């Protein structure tokens, strides 16, 4: 006869099974490596794959689940690897295919997953496919977007007024083919024609190739550019409407982007790629392979990348709300809105992700102030879902000063010296700070591809390991707290206490309650948690403190009165379970 005890036991087994089946990526800590700047193993001043392999144990030290590697494939380096000439070869600058295979093998030993940067929107103009397309070879002639342009008063002009992200016309004349080709980025980065099914299959084959090599997923670059509006019956494209905030026709913002980004076909491309990953899973087993997609699109469009009623999309469509819409002087209500807006718009059954920095944006401490470094690390690692951390943010690295003479980023070099700093991505790409030694321990050579930031002697791994409340050690303590059941699996409530203080509650039945508090500005604040959240235990203890704190780990505090020092962020844990 069935007994209540057996039912309870069965339910317990079911809960354990469900918990064990949670996807590995759902609450993962991702870490972006920009290989050129991570670690140089051969003294040429440029980071490489062997350098990454050498430092994989550091990723374990800071409890990283998976690392996304920016491009290291064969490239002329017009855009530092995002202009790929061979999608199935390692560029000699970074090493060999054997070096890659050794890196993957070591990562698997350490249980660190490898995510490859997949760049499908364009290739290099030195890619064999483009060379053959430009030559008019039948198979390849429509691999890219070509158009003869128009002749007016004896002068040939581009097909449209479309503008490149890197300034100037998005069309470049090819003397050999006697036509223009489209490049939404650098002129050496011609855009693929994804309306051509052969191109789609070429890209599908690239995914399969690297899956066979052992990668655990892909970060998909610039996906929202993949399709342009379809040409009309005469093969022509429409001009985009003008924006009124600039009169510079070479400025990317000169036109309103309604034909060159966010076309309705684009999410379906991601759905196709997800099916390729799932088929590989069915054929080969192992952990789930994932897609992370980069799209700087309106949030309603981003949500389509999760999938639709009939197809699964990306597990992680990057959430750029904090990067794009949060500012130095944003108050707690703004933080609350951006976080809750994502959570409320996210399709049922999907998982959140949080990004605050990457290789294309100024460093967090430079955008929001060095006093807020711990604040953002704590926020990313205590919100529900997965986090993506850019290399060095765990140290509080700041933008390096890069002179105009040393600037190499085409986004800046294609502009003017007087405003290059506002366009350059180089300051956030300076070499990683490992030690206080020569060139921050990045290289044994005599130079670095970009200058090392001047403050490397005080912000480096070696030094911060030895300082109890350094950014690095706060980050490591955070990663420990992230393993707590309430933080891993629990519900979340995000509220602004006032314009100055944000609060995040994480809770799960039968577990301790965790409350993260963020004092965004430079004033002392006092918080009554009972005015913010209902049903809280009466007493908490400090589970995480920072260098801004006057309290110590383990100190107890009443829920009715928590004092925060200027710019202080803390994590509190209830002294009883709920």
| Six-digit token string for 111 | 């249980």
Contacts of 442-445 spanning 24+ positions with Cβ under 8 A? 442/37, 442/39, 442/40, 442/47, 443/40, 443/43, 443/44, 443/45, 444/40, 444/43, 445/40, 445/43, 445/44, 445/45
What's the CA gap between 67 and 390, in Å, rounded?
A: 10
| Alpha helices for 179-252 (secondary structure H) | 197-212
Residue 426 is among the residues annotated as catalytic for this protein: no
Q: For the residues of 36-99, what is the DSSP string, one character each?
A: GGT--SSSSSS--HHHHHHTHHHHHHTT-SEEEEPP-EE---TTTTSS-SEEEEE-TTT--HHH
Give the position of tokens 């000169």: 254
Phi and psi torsions of 58, nearest 5°: -65, -40
Residues 104 and 411: their CA atoms lie apart, in Å, by 32
Helix (H) or strand (E) holding 339: helix 332-345
CA 471 to chain centre: 20
Determine the Cα–Cα distance for residues 383 and 193; give it in Å rounded to an integer. Answer: 39
Question: Among this protein's residues, is 294 annotated catalytic?
Answer: yes
Contacts 24+ apart (CB under 8 A), 5-14: none
| 381: nearest Cα among 529, 546, 523 | 546
Q: Is 196:185 a contact under the CB 8 Å cutoff?
A: no
User: Which one of the listed residues 117, 216, 221, 228 is annotated catalytic?
Assistant: 221
CB 276 within 8 A of CB 208: yes
The Cα-based distances of 177 to 132, 133, 146, 191, 421 in angstroms read: 10, 9, 9, 16, 37
Other CB atoms closer than 10 Å to residue 472's CB: what's the count?
23
From 79, 228, 294, 371, active-site residue: 294
Residue 345 belongs to what H/E stretch?
helix 332-345
For residue 259, the number of C-alpha atoms closer than 13 Å in the C-beta half-sphere is: 19
**128 token code pair:** 């064999």
Phi, psi of 494 (to 5 degrees): -115, 120
Question: Beta strand pairing status for 491-496 and 525-527?
Answer: unpaired
Query: What is the DSSP secondary-structure string of 290-321?
Result: EEEE-----HHHHGGGGB-SS-B--SEE---H
Contact 508, 486 (CB under 8 A): yes
Biggest distance spanned by C-alpha atoms of the chain: 94
Buried b (16+ CB within 10 A) or exposed e, 360-380: ebbbbbbbbebbbbbbbbbbb
Instruction: Give the burial class of 309: count Cβ atoms within 10 A of its Cβ; 0-12 exposed, 13-18 middle, 19 or more buried.
Output: exposed
Would you name the residues annotated as active-site residues?
221, 294
């Amino acid at each position: 006869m069935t007994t209540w005890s057996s039912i309870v036991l069965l339910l317990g087994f079911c809960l354990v099974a469900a918990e064990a089946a949670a996807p590995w990526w759902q609450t993962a800590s991702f870490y972006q490596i920009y290989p050129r700047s991570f670690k140089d193993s051969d003294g040429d001043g440029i980071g490489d794959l062997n350098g990454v392999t050498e430092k994989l144990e550091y990723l374990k030290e800071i409890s990283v689940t998976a690392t996304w590697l920016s491009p290291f494939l064969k490239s002329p380096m017009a855009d530092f690897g995002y202009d790929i000439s061979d999608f199935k070869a390692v560029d000699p600058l970074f090493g060999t295919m054997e070096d890659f295979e050794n890196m993957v093998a070591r990562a698997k030993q350490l249980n660190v997953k490898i995510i490859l940067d997949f760049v499908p929107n364009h290739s290099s103009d030195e890619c064999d496919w483009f060379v053959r397309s430009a030559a008019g070879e039948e198979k390849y002639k429509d691999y890219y977007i070509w158009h003869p342009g128009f002749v007016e008063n004896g002068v040939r002009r581009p097909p449209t007024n479309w503008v490149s992200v890197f300034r100037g016309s998005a069309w470049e004349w090819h003397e050999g083919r006697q036509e223009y080709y489209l490049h939404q980025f650098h002129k050496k980065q011609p855009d693929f024609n994804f309306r051509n099914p052969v191109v789609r299959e070429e890209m599908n084959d690239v995914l399969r190739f690297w899956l066979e090599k052992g990668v655990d997923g892909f970060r998909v670059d610039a996906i929202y550019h993949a399709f342009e509006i379809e040409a009309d019956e005469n093969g022509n494209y429409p001009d985009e409407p003008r924006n009124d905030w600039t009169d510079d026709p070479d400025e990317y913002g000169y036109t309103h982007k309604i034909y060159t980004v966010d076309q309705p076909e684009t999410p379906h491309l991601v759905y196709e790629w997800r099916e390729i990953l799932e088929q590989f899973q069915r054929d080969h087993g192992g952990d789930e392979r994932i897609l992370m997609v980069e799209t700087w699109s309106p949030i309603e469009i981003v949500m389509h990348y999760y999938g639709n009623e009939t197809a699964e999309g990306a597990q992680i469509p990057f959430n750029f709300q904090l990067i794009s819409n949060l500012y130095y002087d944003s108050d707690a209500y703004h933080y609350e809105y951006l976080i809750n807006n994502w959570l409320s718009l996210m399709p049922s059954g999907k998982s959140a992700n949080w990004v605050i920095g990457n290789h294309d944006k100024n460093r967090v401490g430079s955008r929001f102030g060095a006093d807020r470094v711990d604040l953002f690390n704590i926020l990313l690692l205590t919100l529900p879902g997965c986090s993506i951390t850019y290399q060095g943010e765990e140290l509080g690295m700041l933008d390096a000063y890069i002179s105009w003479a040393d600037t190499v980023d085409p986004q800046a070099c294609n502009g003017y010296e007087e405003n290059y700093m506002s366009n350059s991505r180089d300051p956030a790409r300076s070499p990683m700070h490992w030690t206080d030694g020569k060139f921050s321990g990045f290289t044994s050579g005599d130079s670095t591809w970009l200058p090392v930031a001047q403050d490397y002697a005080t912000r480096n791994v070696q030094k911060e390991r030895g300082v109890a409340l350094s950014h690095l050690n706060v980050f490591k303590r955070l990663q420990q707290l992230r393993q707590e059941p309430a933080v891993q699996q629990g519900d979340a409530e995000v509220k602004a206490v006032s314009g100055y203080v944000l609060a995040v509650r994480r809770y799960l039945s039968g577990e301790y309650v965790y409350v993260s508090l963020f004092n965004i500005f430079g004033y002392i604040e006092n918080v009554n948690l009972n005015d913010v959240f209902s049903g809280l235990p009466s007493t908490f203890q400090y589970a995480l403190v920072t260098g801004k704190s006057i309290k110590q780990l383990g100190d107890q505090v009443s829920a009715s009165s928590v004092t925060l020092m200027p710019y202080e962020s803390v994590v509190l844990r209830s002294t009883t379970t709920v």
